[in-house]
A and B are shown apart, each in its own frame.
Chain A
Amino acid sequence: MITIIDYGVGNLFSLAHSLKSVGAEASVTGDAGEILRADHVILPGVGAFGDAAAKLRATGLDGVVKDAAARGTPIMGICLGMQLLLEKSYEFGEHEGLGLIPGEVRPIAEVIPADYKIPHIGWNALEIVRPHPIFKDVRPGDCVYFVHSFYGANCGPALLATAEYGAHLTAAVGRGNVVGCQFHPEKSGDVGLKILKAFCEWEGTT
């Protein structure tokens, strides 16, 4: 069973259906017990970091995600969900993240040339920096769909993949049984579905 964490942020319709389409049994829930019993956990998210982090804390689900991570459950953060896995964010102030993966969330404007549009929106090629089981079916040049104005900086050895947008922006991170994708696999066509399927098959070891 794959559990998508529902903490009142964003639209989980496509994500739930994309998991079903790769044959996974997916549930959308905010129930701590169900999340802790899940075989795999997905932390989604859109919107502002501060609001999402506050909602996660208010529902007590920040601790639940950390507990699930400590138990070795494979966890995937998507988009803002990936950013929440990092240590902190500088999006409209300074906010604490879950700290499951090293790094901090910073504006892409700090690293891309001034004539590049913000947000970074559209399809861009994944450049794999470090092979990971979730990318086992991704071929060089495969594109995925991004929509973001902030990125994961200073992720060190946790950096798994980047996308070129005037700078090498963090596209995926991972440490132990926790991974995060800045792009939306549920909106990335066949390539995205392959990544979701590979995550569902992953047992959390690298």
Chain B
Amino acid sequence: MITKRIIPCLDVKDGRVVKGVNFLGLQDVSSPVKLAEYYSKCGADELVFYDITASAEGRALFTDILREVASKVFIPLTVGGGINTVDDFARVLNCGADKVSVNSGAIRNPALIPAAAKRYGSQCVVISADVKRVDGDFRVFAKGGREDTGLEAVSWIKCCVDSGAGEVVLNSIDTDGVKGGFDLEMLEAVCDAVSVPVIASGGAGCIDDFVQLFKALPRVDAGLAASIFHFGEVEIHTLKQVLRDNDITVRL
């Protein structure tokens, strides 16, 4: 049986992890390499790195860091942030990334996903969508959730999958940061529309939110979160034990 995946997400700026990270026993909590090793040891099934760097120098630091992580951590790595061209795919894949997630780049340039899927295969292309309810519609937002693109989210995500994206990360802006649980309604709408793996993001506040996610929507493949893992509010190994106790298949 394929297992449900638990994925911590790390925001990296100029080679360091941003957003406070508060672990016991970790001396350098802003080192992406140390954190990646820590999460890998705790049972994370995959790691996502978002490069939120603005400058070219910072971007070079990011690829150095990625290379170092990929030479020490042997689980799948997904990289997102600043991916606008097929050359950006090449840049991070050559540093050891396994998948590349696109967001604003795919909104600006609809040819990006088919071009990348043709060169690297669909399994390599992840569409990451920031979605928010506007007047009863699910709307795609760009630029880190700041700009309403006017695009209807479900049809846009389906279009991305039809043109070659092999996986969907659905970030609900409505539930993000609220810690009241994943956005089951939005996730269900996307699961109904696509047949590729869907990763839930935004809203996890406690272990039970993951149990509810996989119980209510068995078609969701993975749960992604950032701060609850970084702050040690949810420990991945414990989370997976509880999921298993609830008859949800996980890798332990």
> Are A187 and B75 in contact, with the CB atoms below 8 A?
yes
* A188 beta carbon closer than 8 Å to chain B: yes
On chain A, the residues within 8 Å of B130 by CB distance are none
Chain A residues, Cβ within 8 Å of B123: 119, 121, 147
| Distance between A50 CB and nearest chain B CB, rounded to angstroms | 13
Instruction: Answer whether A123 and B96 are a contact pair too, CB < 8 Å, given A14-B70, A118-B195.
Output: no
Q: Is the CB of A189 within 8 A of B75?
A: yes
The closest CB in chain B to the CB of A18 belongs to B74
Given contact pairs A121-B123, A187-B74, A17 touches B96 in the complex (Cβ within 8 A): yes
Task: Flag if A13 contacts B45 (CB, 8 Å).
Answer: no
| Residues of B within 8 A of A (CB-CB), count | 30
B155 interface residue (CB < 8 Å to A)? no
Instruction: Indicate with 1 or 0, residue by residue over A33-65, a CB within 8 angstroms of chain B CB atoms.
Output: 000000000000011100000000000000000
Main secondary structure of the interface of A (DSSP, over half): mixed
| Among candidates A46, A125, A186, residue contacting B74 with C-beta atoms closer than 8 Å | A186
Who on chain A is nearest to B122 by CB? A119
**Does A24 interact with chain B (Cβ within 8 Å)?**
no
B61 in the interface, Cβ–Cβ < 8 Å?
Answer: no
Q: A164 contacts the other chain (Cβ, under 8 Å)?
A: yes
B195 touches A117 (CB 8 A): yes
User: Could you say which of A47, A164, A189, A193 contacts B121, with CB atoms under 8 Å apart?
Assistant: A47
Q: Which of the 9-residue segments B1-9, B108-116, B206-214 touches chain A?
A: B1-9
Across the A-B interface, the 6 shortest Cβ-Cβ residue pairs? A17-B71, A143-B251, A13-B96, A123-B251, A123-B3, A147-B123
Interface set of A (CB-CB < 8 Å, partner B): 11, 13-14, 17-18, 20-21, 46-48, 117-125, 143, 145, 147, 164-165, 186-189, 192-193
